[in-house]
Structure 1
């Protein structure tokens, strides 16, 4: 399969870009080729004004089964037992996950199937996640002697410590209802309604000022690592700069005048 075909693209008139993982034969595993394709797309969409919101979906019964273990096993054949190769793969994967967080556009995971290990990490790295009743979530690395250490980073930033550790230490697969209770996903929707629901949510965001969403997304993730005092200082500065933007002035004036705002995304 050509690398371009690994992720299908569909852009709506309103600027919602659907990226669909399309490697069903490998359960949409994060192979080297898949990681490169996803990474390239995150870079290219970051500054594309035509793209306002990104939806990440998948074909087949698996949203993403994590790393390609056959590729990883083949990497062991190197003289160093695979150390250099494993380091490269983990660095690449970590870079892709960070590119989702750092992308100024909202990224929504639409999960209809199984999301395990690095696939669960992929879901946790997205800003929002909606799942069908057919979805499953887990970090089952302990079953094969491999603790899900990199998925742990995204997971522990979405759910409580004890919920994260329970998933990581037991390797149990969770129902979407349980994943929603824990905060890993936003909501469970029927399989028949999932795509429409996700797209409707994305369309709501696409109708907003993309400048405002970008400012807010960056600020949200940056303040989380700060102390309370530093976070308020930082967020106050962000609010001041935001207030000085055209779209904030226009939005407030439109609200006062009871009319629709004319966003210029600046």
Structure 2
């Protein structure tokens, strides 16, 4: 499943037509994480290492690809499934969705999910989730920043697509530049982050779409994006 997800994410990543990725699931479970049958001692340490390597690659890929990735959650998201939600750029969840890191209850602390979850929610919230395995509600997930929006089940498709369509209205190279910069500066200290972001603002202004957006605003019209990384001037 992880290998398939990685392949799907990479499939059209170089296409200018790809503007947003939505990850969703069918049934009452968004993702319950790893199949514990794959994690018994019979599989061996080498196989276990491969499982977690691929999992880490998928989670980092979601944040490294140049388009926004939206989690469309309708149901249970536990362990690596909760990690998947935390790794996405945006998450829209239904009111019945729940989120948990229950690994501690089966003797397998959710250390890799903690990487993404610990960067998405306050530390003490993450620690309570990790130490107790107790699920949190969609509203608590919203309160703590694990998801972006909570909606009734019947509006999940509508609300998710509304976000996706809004993303598609923007310039792809500008969004790609902004996403990469956001994650880069978040890993830096304040002063370094401002230095990074200031340089990128200048780079953004040098893009054709950067100048087109400003002209369109001043001329009170809709911008016409080129969706290329061409420079507006040398």
* Structure-1-length-normalised TM-score: 0.84
SS in 1 for 2:187: coil
Which one of 51, 68, 73 corresponds to residue 18 of structure 2? Answer: 51
1:128 has 2:95 as partner: no
Which one of 153, 177, 183 corresponds to residue 115 of structure 2? Answer: 153
Residue 170 of structure 1: aligned partner: 132
Residue 170 of structure 2: aligned partner: 208
What's the C-alpha RMSD, in Å, of the aligned pairs? 0.8
Q: CA deviation at 1:41?
A: 1.6
Contact kept, 8 Å, 2:39 with 2:48, in 1: the verdict is yes
Q: CA deviation at 1:207?
A: 1.0
CA distance in 1 between counterparts of 2:140 and 2:123 reads: 15
Contact kept, 8 Å, 2:16 with 2:227, in 1: the verdict is no
Where structure 1 has 5 or more consecutive residues not aligned to the other structure, the ranges are 1-33
Residue 212 of structure 2: aligned partner: 250
Residue 232 of structure 2: aligned partner: none
CA distance in 2 between counterparts of 1:252 and 1:160 reads: 37
Residue 90 of structure 1: aligned partner: 52
CA distance in 2 between counterparts of 1:220 and 1:61 reads: 33
- Provide Cα deviations, 1:63-93, integer angstroms capped at 9, x if missing partner: 00000112222xx225xxx211111100010
SS in 2 for 1:46: coil
* Structure-2-length-normalised TM-score: 0.96
Runs of at least 4 residues off by over 2 Å: none
SS in 1 for 2:24: strand
Contact kept, 8 Å, 2:95 with 2:151, in 1: the verdict is yes
Contact kept, 8 Å, 2:73 with 2:93, in 1: the verdict is yes
CA distance in 1 between counterparts of 2:80 and 2:123 reads: 18
Residue 109 of structure 1: aligned partner: 71
CA distance in 2 between counterparts of 1:48 and 1:113 reads: 31
SS in 1 for 2:214: helix
CA distance in 2 between counterparts of 1:174 and 1:226 reads: 30
Q: CA deviation at 1:187?
A: 1.4
CA distance in 2 between counterparts of 1:63 and 1:160 reads: 23
Give the aligned length.
Answer: 228
Residue 22 of structure 1: aligned partner: none
Contact kept, 8 Å, 2:20 with 2:168, in 1: the verdict is yes
Q: CA deviation at 1:40?
A: 0.9
Residue 196 of structure 1: aligned partner: 158
